[in-house]
Structure 1
Amino acid sequence: MQTETLLLIIGAAILALGIAVFQYFYKAKYKTSRNKVYALIRFLSVFGLLIILINPSYKQVTYVTVKPSLAVAVDNTASIKHLEYDDESSDLVSRFRESESLNNAFDVQFYSFGQEFKRLDTLDFQEKQTNISNVLHSLEDIYGTEIAPVILLTDGNQTYGEAYQYTSKNLNQQIYPVVLGDTITYDDLKLGQINVNRYAYINNKFPVEIFATYNGNNTVSSQLTVTSGGAVVHSERVTFSPDKESQVFNLLLPATSVGVRQYAIQLAPNTTEKNIKNNSKNFAIEVIDQKTNVLIVSNIVHPDVGMLKKSIESNRLRTVTFSNPLESISKLNDYELVILYQPDARFKNVYEQLTSLSKNSITVAGANTDWNAVNTFQNTINQEITGQQEEVQGELNVNFSAFVIEDIGFADFPPLKTSFGDVNFKTEVDVALTQTIGSLNTENPLIATTDTNGQREVYILGEGLWRWRAQSFINNNSFEDFDNFIDNLVQYAASNKKKSRLNIDYESFYYGNGDVTLYAQYFDKNYTFDTRARLSIRVVHEETGKVTDIPLLLNKNTYQVAMNNLEPGNYKFTVSVIDQGLARSGSFTIVSFEIEQQFLNANVTELRTLASNTAAALYTSATGDQLIEDLLKDTRYKPIQKSTEKIVPLIDWKWLLFIIALLLSIEWFMRKYNGLT
């Protein structure tokens, strides 16, 4: 307590004492033995009021006992049910929930995982993919350096993601795997990964890479067969042994008809095999009869040029060739699309040839673009000449109607370098992205499209796209989102389809273990994106005739629908705008692929490694009670008592006001009772 406050309190006591003595001894008309009581009460009440005015502070220390956290992560994938351990898993979860000793010692939180990691709601064991490494990363994000052991109920069979036994080496938490599945090893032939391109070309052969493994102690023979439409397209005899447990088969299969073709791979099972579902797999490929050839014309070396080639050729339907302006003149007609990278005065003949051939093009401008020349070469765009550069970011225009664009985080991408000044289009333009500087939208287009008399042009008015692709990879650990965006630009520019008020984006086939998602955009008669529309899709299974109607949901600048519950097969669909009489139709195929049913045993080896890497132990579904007992005995997981100290002003102590009021009431009552005024 400060000296000043202490002196004030002493002064308050002297003043309160003086008032009490003055009233009941010095000025009192009647002096009785009760005056001492009156004086004491008056002293305390006055002193209390003065203390409130001074309002001194005091330290308040509170103690709380913090229990360590315990995370229970439960595998909710179909493999648990396939291995017939779903009941054991549910029973273990109930035991952990109901264990009074466990919940008294830990703050227990329950999670489930499959393809995604989330809070546990219900267990249905229907998830189609297992990503254990994602579970470990998510728990690390939640608990950080906190003491928080993890109980992991799983069979240890991961279908995609990082190898979790290595991910665990950097974890702070102890992971206690509880094995769900048979630990006994049986003879088993298994088809592993199938590598195949998504597209093939008519009358060509396409490669297929097949991984097959054997688990057993004998030498066995089998027949590897590939069929399509009931016809055998490849067959060969194969042999496995303990010394030859895995083999890779590289096949070349013919593409004889256009469209989606489904194939079935069968590895004839051994008579002693327990699980024969992992002896077969399906895959599909789309056979096409043409390829988009893209020519990039440039006079400079720039990272954007190499990036464009990689991004465009990520779609195997595209091939990219480089050329300078002089050499490109004679071969422009050999390409479906021409990309003009930072054109200058030497591009004059290129522009003339493109106009003559009505050839579609994409123009990428930047610091090296000679707008003085380009403004005179064409009649589509005019850039104000200022001789200055600026850096801008992009903002997606929700009213862009040429095709469906997903927002892949454009606003957070690094800035592009562009020419400073107003941009004017001399024809009808559809702006995809506008230029922004900080929070200011300049209204100038950054990416725009035009369609004049059947000739399509795309303008990207900034250099540095390679940074966008790199940032997209950092955000998603994949180039796929950005490459799809570039592919949409190329697809639009290379096509001559008429503009539509209803655009749909979907794949020709999907695998049953993945997402089946369709996207759509609807525009009103002024080609403004309409967020008030109601869209629905009617899906018809071609074999069974089963009809499914699903509404499309609005998500930012697109309508979308997830159809993950559809059975494998061929489907026809129609997307309709309700009450507008506008519809688009198409078809797709869902290829059967039950990856979670490919496993016969639990992956005990990798789960044991996971436990060892985190200074924990491995348990089985039968030793759940032992796990609880071991956790309670482990000295690393003891409650921690934490103290909190805070300075509290005396005026916050409400009892003081009550005491003062009580003292004044007692004094008043005693005075009245004894006939004093």
Structure 2
Amino acid sequence: MAQRAEGNFHLFSLSQVPTFVLLTPETILRNYAGRTGVLSCSCYTVLPLVLSASPWFILLCLLVGAGYAALLYSAKAPWSRAVNYALAFVRFAVVSFLCFLLLSPFIKTTTNTTEAPTLVLAVDNSQSVGLFTPAPVLRQATQGLTQLAQTLRGRGFRVETRVLDQVRPTRPDSVQFRAASSDLDGLLTNVREQYEGRNLAGVVFASDGLVNQGRAPQFADYNFPIYSLGLGDTIAKKDLSLPILTYNRVAFSGNQFPVEAEVAYDGFAGGTATVVLRENGRTLQTKRVSLPAGQRRTKTTFLVTAPAPGKRRYEVVVARQAGEFTPVNNNKFAYVEVVKGKLRVLLAGAAPHPDLKALRAAILQNDNFDLTTYLPGINPLKAQDYDVAILHQLPAQAGQGQEVLSLVRTRRLPALYILGSQSDFGTYNAISTGLTVQPRGQQTDDVTPVLNSAFSRFTFEAEALARFATYPPAPVPFGDVRLSGSAEAALYQQVGRLKTQKPLLVFGGTPQQRQATLLTDGSWQWRLQESVEHDDRPEAYDRLIIRTLQLLTQNANKKRLDVYPTQDAFTTQDDITFGAETYNAIFERIYGQQITLTLTDEQQKTRTFTYTNTEDGAPLHLGTLPGGLYRYAARATLGGQPQQDRGEVLVQDQQLEALQSRADHNLLSQLSQRSGQRLYYPAQLDQLAQDIQKANYKPVIYEQEDLKDLINLKWLFFLLLGLMTVEWATRKYSGGV
């Protein structure tokens, strides 16, 4: 059987099972839209009847029906012969069909539909396009793309528009060029994923070719034609800019730290520039910088004395000069956290162990920590003040390290307990860390870490979670593990592929003494594995240890209201989020408390938010904010008493789109050439429309098959019921029973 649709034959082979064609209508709808060969919609359906048994059983069904009718209507009846034959035929048909349904027949429907070719207008709506493309050229491009869309729709194409920030404008001339970064590969990859398996004819890619995030698109593989449309300006403008600031993000109070500024210049070679360092609008230092001929960049360095502890935002500005194209890229910000001094860490172990080396290496990666290592009987315990202690398998079964445990207890030092085969679990359970462990002998489970999604005290990057998944299993005590009080698990145990609710890393203790527990002495394997797989850069493991220590060494929470930003710093593209903890009079966690948060920016403008903290740890979402240093004040009434908390949060303004003004049309040309196309300009949009039509993109016919049991057709039930009702009524009316 063959069905013809627009010059193409589609063959349906039904030789695998017995088939009977009940209905073969051919319905083909053509809409030429004034153009030969453009098919906007075409569909037809074939309804063959297929049996799951041999067709010879149909004869048996007919024999059963005929026998039943003959047996019932062979005797003399009180009605006429014609009525008798009619009733016998009805009974024959009903019984035969009911027997036929026992063969499980089903209907196989084949539906063909035609999809018109789709063209996507992928528009780079980043700020650099709006800033550096001459207004008449940009207007010509957006209006020309709108006209191109209308023209192609009239030729039978489906035209859709996509932009960087995933907002879907209805027309290209309604696009707002406000995206704060340019991830061109992300835009094209998103188009590829959204239109996978569809009739995508090609993409008209309107961009200036500047990339500041994501992969370089010229090295990616796209499976569709790309018609590039060059925007921006390839002529170098007379301009000064600050592309890079180099500085330490953490500085110690009273120490000097450098801020190195790199000045880029076009058209000002041989002259000088004035570079100013400011804080809160106040000028701290000013420098005159020479701009050597034959170069395009130069550097200058400011030495700044770190003030009192807190978050600081410094602004470096290059003074605008006569004839400069734009001043929007003349400033950049440095965000520095000034701390009191290095945090003193005591790393104590019951005995030499590979964990100690891994922990030591992770801690020494951060200049904010001063580390002291102690092993009982090997080196003496230094008599000094410590800010946090790491106790590896202490308390121990053999009683080692009592002087360290006494130091931690009497001075209420925050502590990270690492449990292992030498740990004394009875003594540990009496410390009240918020976790109790009742092991079953020496049995262990081999586990890997998995995130507790409800934990919000610090965040894990997606890359870190991916690295966690590749860690080798580490041993943990097998037995009864329970959380108590306000303790919270940051990581759970995963056994093989099974994610359990057993804690692996726990934060607990009391508000006066914060404590954490890691239930494995095999984490050294994680750092070693990560170093091997990632070129000696075990960043996920190191960040886990550092953030654990940072959380433990925050100011002891003697407050009943604790409100905090969930990250050290945000960018202007981030959703700003805050977490909150509330306590009753005996410092037990409570929930459902209404909290009012007030943000004040550097211009003393305030924003007020109100929310209620919940048991699932859901943070308060503030949305995006302009760059700057914000001070916040939180207030709540707990147990009838007013409580408050204060702090600071940094929002970094990256200014990525103002750093480079010269368009990169070479990148656009490479993209198009790799797909067999070329680069166009806004004045050539008519030629682009002609080239797309000459490519002769065709509609694609999709075929869909569906199987449906014949017995499930409701109208057959009512048909059989009607026939039997007619038979019964006729017999009753004619004097039969």
**TM-score, with normalisation over the residues of structure 2?**
0.71
Match of 1:194 among 240, 245, 252: 245
Number of equivalences? 655
In structure 2, how many angstroms separate the alpha carbons of the residues matched to 1:668 and 1:349?
Answer: 99
Q: Distance in 2 between matches of 1:225 and 1:326?
A: 58
1:64 matched residue in structure 2 = 113
Q: Distance in 1 between matches of 2:412 and 2:78?
A: 117
CA-to-aligned-CA distance 1:269-323 (integer Å, 9 cap, x gap): 564432332233232323334121324335445367436643x466543344555
Q: Does 1:51 align with 2:105?
A: no
Supply the distance in 1 between the matched residues of 2:701 and 2:92 (Cα, whole angstroms): 41
Which deviations, in whole Å up to 9, do the C-alpha atoms of 1:411-445 show, x marking residues without a partner? 986665222344699x9773445865767967777
Q: Which residue does 2:209 correspond to in 1?
A: 156
**Distance across 2 between alignment mates of 1:466 and 1:134:** 37
Shift of 1:54: 0.3
1:233 and 1:675, CA in 2 relative to 1: closer, same or farther beyond 3 A? Answer: same
TM (norm. structure 1) is 0.77
Pairing partner for 1:460 from 491, 494, 518: 518
Rounded Cα–Cα distance in structure 1 between residues aligned with 2:593 and 2:644: 13
CA distance in 2 between partners of 1:516 and 1:234 (Å): 34
Distance 2:239 2:409 in 1: 65
- Is contact 2:119–2:157 with CA below 8 Å preserved after alignment? no
1:152 aligns to what SS in structure 2? strand
Counterpart code for 2:679: L
Change (3 A) 1:177 1:315: farther
Aligned to 1:560: 620
Q: Letter of the 2:315 partner, please give it.
A: A
Q: Aligned in 2, Cα 1:102/1:78: closer, same or farther, shift over 3 Å?
A: farther
Q: Structure 2: how far apart are the matches of 1:484 and 1:227?
A: 32
State the SS of the aligned residue for 2:97. helix
Q: How far apart, CA to CA, are the structure 2 residues paired with 1:423 and 1:542? A: 48
- Percent same amino acid at aligned positions? 22
The AA in structure 2 aligned to 1:113 is L
1:265 aligned onto 2:316: yes
Shift of 1:557: 0.9
* Unpaired runs of at least 5, structure 1: none
Q: Distance in 1 between matches of 2:353 and 2:154?
A: 65
Distance 1:112 1:529, change over 3 A: farther
Query: What is the aligned counterpart of 1:606 among 652, 667, 675?
Result: 667
Q: Structure 1 residue 92: deviation in Å?
A: 6.1
Code of the residue aligned with 1:574 in structure 2: it is: A
Contact 1:186 1:274 (8 Å CA) reproduced: yes
2:14 matched residue in structure 1: none
Aligned Cα root-mean-square deviation (Å)? 5.1
Distance 1:202 1:338 in 2: 23
CA 29–552 in structure 1, closer or farther in 2 if over 3 Å, else same:
closer
* Match in the other structure for 1:493: 552
Q: Which amino acid aligns with 2:55?
A: L
The C-alpha deviation readout for 1:573-599, integer Å capped at 9, x for no partner, is 212236863221234565655332344
Contact 2:273-2:318 at 8 Å conserved across structures: yes
Contact 1:206 1:253 in 2 (8 A): yes
Q: Deviations over 1:523-571 (max 9, x none)?
A: 455655555233232223453x4332123476841432325234x5554
CA distance in 2 between counterparts of 1:374 and 1:451 reads: 19
**2 CA distance for matches of 1:227 and 1:444?**
48
Task: Tell me if the contact between 1:358 and 1:455 (Cα under 8 Å) persists in the aligned partners.
Answer: no
Match of 2:223 among 172, 176, 181: 172
What is the one-letter code of the residue matched to 1:391?
D
The equivalent residue for 1:254 is 304
Q: Is the 8 A contact 2:389 2:408 kept in 1?
A: no
Deviation at 1:67, TM superposition (A): 4.3
Q: What are the ranges of 5 or more consecutive residues in structure 2 without an aligned counterpart?
A: 1-17, 19-50
Q: Distance in 2 between matches of 1:374 and 1:672?
A: 91
Q: Following the alignment from structure 1 to structure 2, what is the Cα–Cα distance between the partners of residues 42 and 649?
A: 28
CA contact (8 A) 1:81 1:125 kept: yes
Give the CA deviation at 1:267: 3.8
Match of 1:129 in 2: 181
Check 1:377–1:24 CA distance in 2 against 1; reply closer, same or farther (3 A cut).
Answer: closer
Cα separation, 1, equivalents of 2:270 and 2:530:
50
1:231 counterpart = 2:283: yes
Task: Give the aligned residue type for 1:223.
Answer: A
Q: Which residue of 2 aligns with 1:551?
A: 610
Distance of aligned partners of 1:90 and 1:253 in 2 relative to their CA distance in 1, 3 Å threshold: same
Contact 2:73/2:88 (8 A) holds in 1: no
CA distance 1:596–1:422, change in 2 (3 Å): same
Q: Deviations over 1:574-632 (max 9, x none)?
A: 12236863221234565655332344343322222333344443334444454454444
Query: Is the contact made by 1:503 and 1:521 (CA closer than 8 Å) also made in structure 2?
Result: yes
Q: Spell out, residue by residue over 1:3-38, the C-alpha distance to the aligned partner (whole angstroms, 9 max, x if none).
A: 964333335556767888999999699999xx5x99
Q: Residue in 1 aligned with 2:354?
A: 302
SS of equivalent to 2:214? coil
Check conservation: 1:191, 1:211, Cα contact below 8 A: yes
SS at match of 1:371: coil
More helix per residue: 1
Q: Which amino acid aligns with 1:251?
A: T
Are the aligned partners of 1:365 and 1:460 in contact in 2 as well (CA < 8 Å)? yes
- Give the Cα separation in 1 of the matches to 2:422 and 2:392: 11
2:33 matched residue in structure 1: none
Aligned partner of 1:430: which letter?
Answer: A
Contact 1:422 1:444 in 2 (8 A): no
CA contact (8 A) 1:133 1:161 kept: yes
Q: Structure 1 89/564 Cα, relative in aligned 2: closer, same or farther at 3 Å?
A: farther
One-letter code aligned to 2:699: P
Report SS of the residue matched to 2:487.
Answer: strand
Aligned to 2:56: 7
Matched residue SS, 1:134 = helix
CA distance in 2, matches of 1:8, 1:482: 71
Q: Does the residue aligned with 1:539 lie in a helix, a strand or coil? A: strand
Q: Aligned equivalents of 1:583 and 1:285: distance in 2?
A: 26
Amino acid at match of 1:419: P
Aligned to 2:564: 505
Cα separation, 2, equivalents of 1:467 and 1:72: 50
Report if the CA contact (8 A) 1:553-1:561 is conserved.
Answer: no
The yes-or-no answer on 1:287 pairing with 2:287 is no
Does the CA contact (< 8 Å) of 1:342 and 1:363 recur in 2? no
Distance 1:203 1:277, change over 3 A: same
Partner of 2:411: 358
CA offset digits 1:37-68 (Å, max 9, x no partner): 99589647833652353034454332222445
Correspondent of 1:207 among 239, 258, 263? 258
CA distance in structure 2 between the aligned counterparts of 1:651 and 1:665, rounded to whole angstroms = 19
CA distance in 1, matches of 2:574, 2:454: 30
Secondary structure of the structure 2 residue equivalent to 1:610: helix
> Is 1:177–1:607's contact at 8 Å kept on the other side of the alignment?
yes
Q: Aligned pair in 2 of structure 1 residues 89, 667: CA closer, same or farther (>3 Å)? A: farther
1:533 is matched with which residue? 593
Q: Secondary structure at the match of 1:605?
A: helix
